[in-house]
Amino acid sequence: MSTLLMRLAAPLQSWGGMVKFERRGTERVPTKSGVVGLIAAALGRRRNEKINDLSALRFGVRVDRDGILLRDYHTVKSRKSTYVTTRYYLSDAIFLVGLEGEDAFLDQIDYALQHPEFPLFLGRRSCPPEGRLSLGVREGRTLLEALREEPWLVHEWMRKKEDAEVRLPILMDVGNETAGGYVQRDLPLSFDQTHREYGFRRVCGSNFICISNPYGKPFVPKNTTEQDPLIELEEE
């Protein structure tokens, strides 16, 4: 088994989230259904084609920069009325995505991401990716190993806005080295427009890595002496 790594970065991203009437939300990290759809488009698969082999890949995300949640308004006109929809996006977020599977299949996906059959988007058509998507296949590395070992993907000018010590969360499909987790319904079973279907998967969110950021802001503890009642008791 090996792991294919992808860098998902753009001015705007939007991943599935809750859809309720005129409100279109986004998850705070890329969904498995969104990434599988992106890869299916790169491979040139139509919506009515099977995606079982893609859904079977083990999926994980490392949050290198969580971005800012933005809200936008869209005016939609129909024959009878005009109404406003609310849509949410992630601004300036950066994610490291990993897919664990057989080497030959990962090599095929890697090539397709560099030579896509259809245009690729990060969740919505208004969100084209920034730069190269595929970072290549890490041969012989498990999903967790690859996500832990890959260098931090944030640009130097962005690192100056972060702390001197940065914690990067890792969310991934539950496997042999992980346990517990929570259930999330974003496992794509069919993208057919006449019968879209999604299943459940178990996600482990307890992993993370801590890295030193030489460009970051040093931590300055707040002086709470004047507001600490215990100090006043000790003085008495």
Q: What is the mean pLDDT of the chain?
A: 89
120 vs 18, higher pLDDT: 120
For residue 218 the two structure tokens come to: 């040093």
**Strand ranges for 41-110 from DSSP E:** 58-65, 68-77, 82-91, 94-101
Interval 127-148: pLDDT, tens: 999 999 999 999 999 999 999 9
Residues in the chain: 236
Please give the pLDDT value at position 227. Answer: 58
Q: What is the pTM assigned to this prediction?
A: 0.86
Q: What is the 3-state secondary structure (H, E, C) of 152-199?
A: CCCCHHHHCCCECEEEEEEEEECCCCCCCCEEEEEEEEECCCCCCEEE
Number of domains forming the structure of the chain: 1
% of the chain beyond a pLDDT of 90: 69
Question: Residue 110's pLDDT band (boundaries 50, 70, 90)?
Answer: very high
CATH code of the domain containing 186: 3.30.70.2660
Domain that holds residue 6: 2-235
